Chain A
Amino acid sequence: MSSVPSSPSSPSSPSSPLHLAVALDGTGWHPASWREPVARPRDLLTAGYWADLVGEAERGLLDFVTFEDGLGLQSSHFLDPDERTDQVRGRLDAVLIASRVAPLTRHIGLVPTVVATHTEPFHISKAIATLDYVSTGRAGLRVQITARPNEAAHFGRRTIPRIEGYDSPDTRDLVGDLFDEAADHVEVVRRLWDSWEDDAEIRDVATGRFIDREKLHYIDFQGGHFSVKGPSITPRPPQGQPIVSALAHDTVPYRLVARQADIGYVTPHDSEQARAIVAEIRAEQETAGRADELLHIFGDLVVFLDDDPAEAAARRERLDALAGAPYTGDARVFTGTPAQLADLLQDLASAGLTGFRLRPAVAGHDLPAVTRGLVPELQRRGAFRRSYEADTLRGLLGLARPANRYSRVA
């Protein structure tokens, strides 16, 4: 199994290799992106659309792509449906999109969003393990919670009260509880991945035994929201443990990243903020007893990329005008040239970020600008790979294949 010697644990040098991912969502992250001539808004529900985007990302040698998802219709409002008709609405299940494109690609990692609230960790575990099989070792997941009352109503199994004030104790309790549940969810998913030892299938014709059942393990998870017996029905996936990642904006999610993830996506707006976030996550990582494990911290940026910086800024203004409001979000919005973005990424990397997840403002424009503009620029600077150096996503990220927690030492 491939593991990569170069560890990005000392990112202080401006030319040390960066990891690059793109976040795919509809026609792009700008709400008016679907109105661009290059956008393909009528193809969003087809396999060909996603195959083209992921193929482009793979030609750019990117580490992986993520696929956004949700258990309700998209909304510009944080908590409620918005009933807007001027933005992209409707989407396909992210795990199935990732699986659909897996046989069409060979190197790039595939990381669908998985909502931990309302879903079954048993199903998620075998789905991502299977994505790892169909992609021969390129699967991951991006875990997310939902505090939307309308999405809870789609399942009808519990009521999630509407958050009124973000700083109220009730909100903190609710969000803390949802993140605790997500941490349990990931814990179950991970235990199930390990519930088969790698050599459990023996096909011993002499004794007629297909498996050595001593190498299958009940996980016996008991938590506040659910309990799961195990073992998985799906054998341990090729990577052993596919990649777990999460987007985090605050201490509670930072803790989830520090406890359970291989990659955290964070949203600093400058290198000073990046340094502070990295310090907080590293401290949580130490508290979680994982100080010696490689945990990537990726910066998220929305990008408008053009060869002329004025063109990129003008494009943003034009789209903002169409949308009726300036685009803002959780992540910094960058407009400029590939070279300017390379400068920014190297500056942020010097603050301790080990990679970046770029959110193309317009998928059809800014994704090719990343793969054909930014990537060559970073390559010239010796800061990005010139060919895929590993066959698995763990390998690309410099993560070793982990030992199975249930294996007995011989």
Chain B
Amino acid sequence: MSKPLKQIHLAAHFPGVNNTTVWSDPEAGSHIEFSSFAHFARTAERAKFDFLFLAEGLRLREQGGKIYDLDVVGRPDTFTVLAALAAVTEHLGLTGTINSTFNEPYEVARQFASLDHLSGGRAAWNVVTSWDAFTGENFRRGGFLPQGERYSRAKEFLATAHELFDSWQGDELLADRASGTFLRDAKAGAFVHTGQHFDIHGQFNVPRSPQGRPVIFQAGDSDEGREFAASDADAIFSRYATLEEGQAFYTDVKNRLAKYGRRHDQLKILPAASFVLGDTDGEAEEIAKEVRRQQVSGATAIKHLEFVWNRDLSSYDPDGPLPDIDPDLGEHHIARGRAQVRMYRDPLATAREWRERAAANNWSIRDLVIETGNRQNFVGSPATVAKTINDYVQADASDGFILVPHITPTGLDTFADQVVPLLQEQGVFRTEYEGPTLRDHLGLAHPDDARGERAAS
């Protein structure tokens, strides 16, 4: 007997500060003005997507000691944009990355609980960690946190936030005019947390929100990160959007759930994925090539090579051959505030491999960066892209995808109009939202169901 068809989960990442956003395209609009976010969110909701996702940055990136100026720079505050988007959408989930290092649990918990109230149960939190002093220079706390304590602090931060969310049962607000009783229990919201990172107590001041707690996302990829997700998260924002890598990651993480007493479907795996559409597969390939050239200018190619070489390579010609000097193996100093820096764990081997590939294919520096940095996951006609996405999900490479268009804010429009209807025709994607909350969209249980009571609100 064949497996029943899985329902696909789709979300949209507002393209912001990254090297996939093509800001030079004439169609590219503002990445700051609210009208851009509203357009993007309305498109995602029209397409019945599960949620919209916003990343976060807490220090502008630098390279060679100067603020990086080649990608989009600047973004608005995550919470504030999501709260405003709640006013222009009705169903769409609102997911934000919020750092657990440069925040305090009481404040973040009340912001997420507030967002959940103000959106009628659509809030989600992508918990990320940081440790670097570079980012810390913008905060009271500074950059003190040893790298090894990242997940320990994140775990305790999340556990503490859960204690705060759970400090209200949901039935405390009586507001009984006749008896004059507003609050059933004077101790509502009481909490005590004593741990390695937080020693706090008192009363939480946001009563229980529609979802009980926001949906929890996790994005780390290390062994520790995967354990953290398996034990505590509702969904993973992964970066393995190819079939084989996706399947390997999916199997690995889902297999970790059992030891925490969790079922396979209690953790959704959603890789970030880019796409390029054309009327035909051939046209899409042509457009995709052009997009890659726009994404990687000569200047961008040199800067990208500097991540690996850890040296100033500004004297090199991007249309010429790769440098014959080796990477600087000292402490990484060339680029700060970028996640990519940590992706090249063996710079010498990477440099050697890249030189060989460039020589074999007669690639310039720019050609090489375009080829090796290619992150276009789905390229083709709407029918091809719809089929590929569905094939991947049915083959357990993921539970769905978080789509990252390369144009702000209209990059999702064609996908919504041309790909989504095909998925709907195949019966693998919703045609209407089934419930009001993000937990409903993702098929996640309400945390109060386990207690056999729903919040009366």
Contacts and interface: CB of A to CB of B under 8 A. Distances in A.
Interface of A: 32, 34-35, 37, 41-42, 45-47, 51, 70-74, 81, 83-93, 95-97, 99-104, 118-120, 122-123, 126-127, 129-131, 133-134, 136, 150-151, 153-157, 196, 201, 203, 205, 207-213, 216, 225-231, 233-235, 322
A156 to B, nearest CB: 4
Given A150-B202, A234-B32, A101 B297 contact: no
Contact of B86 (A100, A196, A216): A100
Contact of B33 (A88, A133, A233): A133
Contacts of B106: 71, 154-155
B74 A229 contact: no
Contacts of B457: 45
Given A90-B173, A229-B137, A118 B182 contact: no
A41 B175 contact: yes
Given A90-B173, A91-B206, A119 B80 contact: no
Given A92-B114, A96-B114, A103-B87, A210 B77 contact: no
Contact of A93 (B86, B110, B207, B298): B110
Considering the complex of A and B, which 7 residue pairs feature the smallest CB-CB distances, nearest first?
Answer: A130-B80, A41-B175, A99-B83, A229-B137, A134-B84, A93-B114, A130-B77
B140 A226 contact: yes
Main secondary structure of the interface of B (DSSP, over half): loop
Contact of A99 (B72, B80, B104, B140): B80
B24 A85 contact: no
A96 B79 contact: yes
B73 interface: yes
B202 A322 contact: no
Interface of B: 23-24, 32-34, 38, 57-60, 66-67, 69-77, 79-81, 83-84, 86-88, 102-104, 106-107, 110-111, 113-115, 117-120, 137-140, 142, 168, 172-173, 175, 177, 180-189, 198-203, 205-207, 209, 297-300, 457
Contacts of A227: 137, 142
Given A46-B117, A208-B299, A122 B32 contact: no
B203 to A, nearest CB: 5
Contacts of B23: 203, 210
Given A46-B117, A71-B107, A102-B84, A205 B24 contact: yes
A97 B140 CA distance: 26
A100 B85 CA distance: 7
Given A86-B180, A100-B87, A127 B77 contact: yes
B117 A123 contact: no
Given A41-B182, A234-B77, A73 B189 contact: yes
A133 B34 contact: yes
B105 to A, nearest CB: 9
Contacts of A93: 79, 110-111, 114, 206
Contacts of B187: 83
8 contacts: A81-B202, A93-B111, A96-B79, A100-B86, A101-B87, A156-B199, A216-B60, A230-B138
B286 to A, nearest CB: 21
A89 B183 CA distance: 7
A233 B203 contact: no
A151 B205 CA distance: 11
A278 to B, nearest CB: 34
Given A90-B207, A102-B87, A231-B60, 5 more contacts: A73-B203, A74-B205, A89-B205, A92-B118, A234-B76
Given A92-B114, A96-B118, A84 B88 contact: no
A195 B307 CA distance: 27
Contacts of B115: 96
Contacts of B117: 45-47, 92
Contacts of A71: 106-107, 205
A213 B76 contact: no
Nearest to B37: A134
Contact of A47 (B87, B103, B201): B87
Q: Which of B83, B110, B186, B187 has the most CB of A within 10 A?
A: B83
A130 B118 contact: no
Given A153-B202, A229-B137, A100 B74 contact: no
Nearest to B160: A156
A126 B76 contact: yes
Contacts of B114: 92-93, 96-97
A191 B199 CA distance: 33
Given A90-B173, A203-B23, A127 B67 contact: no
Contacts of A129: 76-77
Nearest to A148: B202
A31 to B, nearest CB: 10
Contact of B74 (A92, A104, A230, A233): A233
Contacts of A35: 177, 180
B84 A100 contact: yes
Q: Which of A86, A90, A103, A231 has the most CB of B within 10 A?
A: A90
A213 B67 contact: yes
